[in-house]
Structure 1
Amino acid sequence: MSPPVDPVHSSETLPAKVDVVVIGGGIIGVSSAWFLARRGFSVALCEKGVIGGEQSSRNWGYCRQQGRDPKELPLILESMRIWRGLDKEIEGDTGFRQAGVAYVAKDEAQLAQYERWAEIAKEYQLDTRVLSRDELKAHIPGYESDYPGGLWTASDGRAEPSKAAPAIATAAQRQGVSVLTGCAVRGLETAAGHVSAVVTERGRIACDAVLLAGGAWSSLFLKRHGIAFPQLSVKSSVMRTTAGPEVLAGGLSTPEFSIRRREDGKYSLSRGFDSTFYIVPDAIRWMGKFWESFQAEKDTIKLRLDGRFFQELFRGSNWSLDRESPFEKVRVLDPAADRGILDAGLADFKKRFPVLKDLGVEEYWAGMIDATPDAVPCIAPMDKLPGLFLASGFSGHGFGIGPGAGRLAADMVTGHASCVDPSPFRYGRFFDGTSLAPAEV
């Protein structure tokens, strides 16, 4: 079952022409539309399902700087600057609070990784610090643990995934954006080799540029237009507990569980970094590029082979624009949660915090994380098809980095000076021999 998401009412009229069409109503898409509209561009945002219906409402709710690939640090710093003033800017409620995030090291080797990352943090004037075993216990009262220490960044934050994307989308509507839900984009039209329109299930929208922020669907959409994008999806499961005492105001990630206390006093909980990967044809296609990533995560990923392999094998990628597309057949990716994994995480959570022994479960859900080989997003123009831009592959980091990524994408689409150096997010890195090994932390 999917978690509840604040509703956004669809705009009634399909515009005949706009400056920019944004495909995808997740945190990246709505943030991009918001920034584009504020700069005076006419925008239509097309979402096949509901705003925030997929991974943007199914994540942990962390807005974190710590533990980032150094290539992402300038962008998350910009994103945190935006988060801190976002509710006032949009006149809405994203649930953002600057409450900190703590990581617990499973052993001395991982603690040494955290120490190395803390040195990188100093270069960016972050307030990250390494906690010893005793400091960790003092920092999180009531945490019964013998782990060797951890990492803490007080300036990190949290927000409510069920609220954030809808709140930004609603603000974008007030800025004049046509927010079209239940409106899948089937494909693109071109004129003289440049994007000239999108064809939706409800009709055609002429435009000068298109930003694809389609999450786990981006690779399939690009494939129809002859563009290869090495992207795979990983399933992550989450539960919502009943309300319980606060053990930490911000986020806490340990080898056994990851939690965030919600505004309603309940907890969102996942089983650490455990996830499930379904073997599909694209996994075979891109195995060479993802090999180092799989090796780094092999202890936390469970491999599965089921009917998805044959569904995707025979799905094809050259559907007609005047017929139902794959995006209409699956409005919202809503995979079944791995309840056994979550129940084990909840049991460990209660064991480590005896004060929470009476917590119950209210809901389970799962989401599909769109991943790249190096776990860094692609935010870049598609040179093969001028006028098309991509913002996808956020690899489980997209919620916190979303507002900054939206601004960077808007910079690219409009030709403004980029808010951060865009080169780490370039498309060409997947094919020019650049190392695609994921960062250590």
Structure 2
Amino acid sequence: MRRADVLIIGGGGAGCSAALFLARRGARVILLERGQVGSQATGVNYGGVRQQGRHPSGIPLARKSREIWSRLPALIGTDAEFQACGHLKLARSEADEAELARWNAIAAEHGLVTRMIGRNAIRAEHPYFSEQVVAGSLLAEDGAANPRLLSPALARAARAAGAELLEHHEVTAMGRDGAGFVVEAAGNAFTAPVLLNCAGFWGGKVAAAFGEEVPIAPLHPNMLVTEPLPFFCTHSLGVVGGGLYLRQIARGNVIFGGGRASGEQDATRTRPSADATLASMQEAVALIPRLAGAMVIRSWSGTDGIFADHFPVLGPSRTAPGLIHAFGFCGEGFQLGPGVGAVLSELVLDGRTDVPLEAFDIGRFARQDAAMAG
């Protein structure tokens, strides 16, 4: 039996970040990852480091994480190619423009600085947009990074701090005994008084093992990248209502996504959707006509978990003391990963965090069920 102070299931951004922050404060940590660290949602997403457009309940967590992104080189030895290039959210109607203004007012209450750009200014600053674009909102401190680099770098730093991260250790059984939690993986047994559930979509199975079933569904984003093109786009772009997001990297390739791919029943294998790919390409060309004729050289997907209310589960279990959940980030977890790890370490070692978590409480599903039954 291998013993630790904290066991972590899941080696994405949240799990690896938690391992790092816990180990830096002297905790004995063992992390169990079924495949390789960062091989699912954290490693296959668009790479947006975005606070703009988040639900007000999620802004404090996004802000905490953004502060950590600013000091990644000192923390993990790399910036994961993070650039604060700004996130520009585009309005394609007067209703969209009103939604941007509404969110900007909320953002200002949280100390975020945005800039509304009207029709004339956005056309002057970004002449490559089509007439679809009527306005935009720029949050300059947002940006993008390379999702393939974040989790491996967090994992290296966590190991250097003393954490043990075990890849290719699929959890096959879990439960509790008098001393805490017992988890079996790769023929070995591990025990600790604290268990962190950072298992992404599969976090629902972990929660269910301790009597907390949740209505999580798999989310498979459909991602594409073009051949290198002459550089023209300085910001990371999104549209009001979602559905399309794109950015151009320094080599000239345009990374964009939209729609949903497909996955096998257990969601471990995914396949891009030809229909979603074509629809995204058409929408991108309608927004930026110069993309017409660009060659798409690769498409891909992965698996995250999503809830109907688009909030993750983050915080203590309601049934198993010592179990803390952090899963189901609904496609928005890449930016949050470093901050989630910090929050988890605070909950474990301090018993509290300065980030409001009420909206992410796993107990909300039981309350919803009770309300429907009543």
| TM-score greater than 0.5 by the shorter chain | yes
**Which amino acid in 2 is paired with 1:260?**
R
**Which amino acid in 2 is paired with 1:137?**
R
1:114-263 paired onto structure 2 within 5 Å: 114-192=100-178, 195-254=180-239, 257-263=244-250
Distance 2:287 2:190 in 1: 54
1:75 aligns with one of 61, 68, 78: 61
Residues 334 and 250 (structure 1), Cα distance of their counterparts in 2 relative to 1, 3 Å cut: farther
1:308-319 paired onto structure 2 within 5 Å: 308=265
User: Which deviates more, 216-225 or 113-122?
Assistant: 216-225
**Cα offset for 1:16?**
1.7
**Could you say which residue in structure 1 is the equivalent of 2:37?**
51
Match of 1:188, SS state, is strand
Q: Determine if contact 2:19/2:31 at 8 Å carries over to the other structure.
A: yes
User: In the alignment, is residue 359 of structure 1 matched against residue 294 of structure 2?
Assistant: yes
> Aligned-residue CA RMSD in angstroms?
2.4
1:426 aligns with one of 328, 351, 361: 361
Residues 363 and 428 (structure 1), Cα distance of their counterparts in 2 relative to 1, 3 Å cut: same
Distance 1:18 1:148 in 2: 55
User: In the alignment, is residue 101 of structure 1 matched against residue 36 of structure 2?
Assistant: no
**Cα offset for 1:339?**
2.3
Distance 2:129 2:103 in 1: 24
**Cα offset for 1:355?**
4.3
Distance 1:391 1:201 in 2: 23
**Which amino acid in 2 is paired with 1:215?**
G
**Cα offset for 1:188?**
2.0
**Identity between Structure 1 and Structure 2 (%):** 29
**Could you say which residue in structure 2 is the equivalent of 1:286?**
none
Residues 390 and 275 (structure 1), Cα distance of their counterparts in 2 relative to 1, 3 Å cut: same
Q: Determine if contact 1:130/1:150 at 8 Å carries over to the other structure.
A: yes
**Which amino acid in 1 is paired with 2:172?**
R
Q: C-alpha deviations, 1:157-181, integer Å up to 9, x for none?
A: 2111111111111111111111111
**Could you say which residue in structure 1 is the equivalent of 2:70?**
84
Q: Determine if contact 2:261/2:271 at 8 Å carries over to the other structure.
A: no
Q: C-alpha deviations, 1:388-436, integer Å up to 9, x for none?
A: 1110121111001111111111111223441312323222222225999
**Cα offset for 1:356?**
4.1
Residues 413 and 206 (structure 1), Cα distance of their counterparts in 2 relative to 1, 3 Å cut: same
**Cα offset for 1:348?**
4.2
Distance 2:366 2:136 in 1: 36
2:327 aligns with one of 374, 382, 392: 392
Distance 1:276 1:256 in 2: 13
**Which amino acid in 1 is paired with 2:227?**
T
Distance 1:46 1:264 in 2: 35
**Cα offset for 1:246?**
2.5
Match of 1:211, SS state, is strand
Q: How many residues align?
A: 369
**Cα offset for 1:228?**
1.2
Match of 1:74, SS state, is helix
**Cα offset for 1:107?**
1.8
**Which amino acid in 2 is paired with 1:236?**
P
**TM-score of the two chains, using structure 2 as the length reference:** 0.91
Match of 1:367, SS state, is coil
Distance 1:346 1:56 in 2: 24
**Which amino acid in 1 is paired with 2:318?**
D
Unaligned 5+ residue runs, structure 1?
Answer: 1-14, 279-306, 309-329, 437-441
**TM-score of the two chains, using structure 1 as the length reference:** 0.78
**Cα offset for 1:67?**
0.4
**Could you say which residue in structure 2 is the equivalent of 1:16?**
2
Q: Determine if contact 1:23/1:211 at 8 Å carries over to the other structure.
A: yes
**Cα offset for 1:95?**
1.2
Unaligned 5+ residue runs, structure 2?
Answer: none
2:273 aligns with one of 322, 329, 338: 338
